[in-house]
Amino acid sequence: EVQYGAPPRMIEKGPYVYREQWNRSNIRYSDPDALSYIPITTLYFDRQQSVGPDDKYMTVLNIPLMVGLT
């Protein structure tokens, strides 16, 4: 339908809330003024703040790509 100029059918869903936790791994001091590490980001689903479980499938438009294609 959209390929032929019809507007897309969209349904608003959510909110789905995730909590983000940052950790650092493999911390190294290479000289007195330099520090290196590997950042690790972990996301945790917050069921109480969300409208439903996180096992739903949904399609999300890539708006910048869509604008670039027009």
What are the pLDDT digits (tens) for 15-24?
999 999 999 9
What are the pLDDT digits (tens) for 5-62?
898 888 888 899 999 999 999 999 988 889 999 999 999 999 999 998 989 888 888 8
Residue 63: pLDDT band by 50, 70, 90 thresholds?
confident
- Name the phi and psi angles at 39, rounded to 5: -75, 140
Residue 34: which residues within 8 A CB-CB, separation 6 or more? none
- Consecutive H or E run containing 15: none
The domain limits of the chain are 13-69
pTM of this structure: 0.60
Residue 66: pLDDT band by 50, 70, 90 thresholds?
confident
Collapsed DSSP state (helix, strand, coil) of residue 35: strand
43, two tokens: 């996301």
Tokens 């190294």 sit on residue: 28
